[in-house]
Amino acid sequence: MTGWQMLFYKEVLRFWKVSFQTVAAPVLTAALYLLIFGHVMQDHVKVYDRIDYATFLVPGLVMMSVLQNAFANSSSSLVQSKIMGNLVFLLLTPLSHWAWFVAYVGSSVVRGLVVGLGVFVITLGFSTPQLAAPLWIVLFALLGAALLGTLGLIAGLWAEKFDQMAAFQNFIIVPMTFLSGVFYSIHSLPPFWQKMSHLNPFFYMIDGFRYGFFGQSDASPWLSLAIVGTAWLCVSALALHLLRTGYKIRS
């Protein structure tokens, strides 16, 4: 293997060795969300004319699982390496900043997609899936996982201990994910909060992903694609700059 391939393999193996915690636990959490919210709200919430609430909820839960686990993979790996002191072994290698970026973000995408697929399989027991545009599903799943994996890389470079990492996730990632339309359509919100939702890039990831299931969404899928793609390019440029300069890892 080349350098980046070995680092990628190491990162995938790292989360797979504890798959009960990194894969099975998030799948169970999403299944509980669907069981509780789908059962309680099924007869009280109608999102689209032809779609019941439990079916509407499935894409949001799948994408939420993809995003949160992609972020957790790269961020936890870097922080753990800093605290345990084994990051120095990577710094001694001739790996370029591109190799680091591809390996960490690539492994985050793999974990996010594995968890998302697990959630989707579990939800088959609750509702019959609709796949109106499968290519949109794949595209937004890949872009969303890559964006959150890159954000996790930046957060991992910035954080020096688990407390800082937890603060980043609890006060930024989780609120933006939950307020992005996972459990509701933004058309059900008052006008002010609809406008605020359009400022949240996570909304476009989940809304575009949901379009692939139903062929219907709150925003144009092309607009969502443009915003998510642009956000990933900007975040990637920042992450590559931090890796190239050795931000908080070479001092």
- pLDDT classification of 152: cutoffs 50, 70, 90: very high
In a domain? residue 174: yes
Per-residue CA distances from 131 to 110, 123, 232, 241 (Å): 22, 14, 25, 39
Enter the pTM of the model: 0.91
Q: How many domains does the chain have?
A: 1
Mean pLDDT throughout 195-202?
88
Q: Return d(Cα 250, Cα 87) in angstroms, integer.
A: 10
Question: Which pLDDT belongs to residue 44?
Answer: 57
Distance between CA atoms of 121 and 115, rounded to whole angstroms?
10
Range of the domain at 63: 3-245
pLDDT tens digits for range 39-61: 666 665 666 667 777 888 899 99
97 falls within a domain: yes
Q: What is the pLDDT of residues 99-126, one digit of tens each?
A: 999 999 999 999 999 999 999 999 888 7
Query: Hey, what amino acid is at 126?
Result: F
- Rounded to whole angstroms, the Cα distance separating 89 from 66 reads 30
**16 in a structural domain:** yes
Helix%, strand%, coil% for the chain, nearest 5: 75, 0, 25
Q: pLDDT band for position 212 (50/70/90)? A: very high
250 inside domain: no
